[in-house]
Amino acid sequence: MTESQLVSHYALWALVVGLSVVVLVLTRQVGILHERIAPAGALALSSGPVVGEPAPQVDAHALDGTRVRFGPEAERLTSQLLFFVSPRCTVCRELQPVVRSIATRNHVRLTFASDGDELDHDSFIASHQIDRGDYVVSEELGTQFGIAKLPYAVLIDEHGIVRAQGLVNTREHVESLFEAQELGVGSVQDYLQGKDQRSDSKEVHAHGLA
């Protein structure tokens, strides 16, 4: 092997070693970045019902006249996803088909909730083909659940217990409600921060059957 070939050989090995070091450094940085931008779930507001406790007891009516009850005394066979919206909310309009799809996939009943004049909701319902029996207009409902920003969603189990809630601006936010319920925590943020907010199942069932 000539001297020039030896130089090329060592130069090639030096390049390979250098690239390996760069790859290792980049891999480490990607791991650090992933930790910093861990998936964010729906952000729960400070007001309103507490996760793990009974939902507020509210009697309301859907736009088709059907009586709808919320809380532990309500008769239900499945869990319920309460989706607070406004016809003037752009994100609400864009997100509603996603919410409907997720609710169907998770076998929960989806109820849209809002307030104001019922006539203001007609075009919203018609354009999105929402069943009037699944749409409740009630100022009391928003007040009892402490709704201050939209769109907001509350996941209630079959016993009337709040399992997860928060502002939902994306598909990931909506799905995080079901993830939080599965993990037994108040929110995905709590889980990522290592907080154990699991409620005693016996106590929860006692509330739900009261």
pTM, two decimals, is 0.72
120 alpha carbon, distance to own chain's centre:
26
pLDDT recorded at residue 34: 38
Q: How much of the chain exceeds pLDDT 70, in percent?
A: 73
Q: Which residue has the higher pLDDT, 197 or 107?
A: 107
Least confident of 184-188, 196-200, 203-207: 203-207
**pLDDT above 90 (res 82):** yes
Of 176, 181, 179, 147, nearest to 52 by C-alpha is: 181
**pLDDT above 50 (res 186):** yes
Task: Name the phi and psi angles at 75, rounded to 5.
Answer: -85, 120
pLDDT recorded at residue 3: 64
pLDDT recorded at residue 27: 58
Per-residue confidence at 73, pLDDT binned at 50, 70, 90? confident
In this predicted model, what pLDDT tens digit does every residue of 21-65 receive, in sequence order? 666 656 555 444 333 434 467 777 767 899 999 999 999 999 999
**pLDDT above 90 (res 150):** yes
Do residues 62 and 68 touch, judged by C-beta distance below 8 A? yes
pLDDT recorded at residue 111: 97
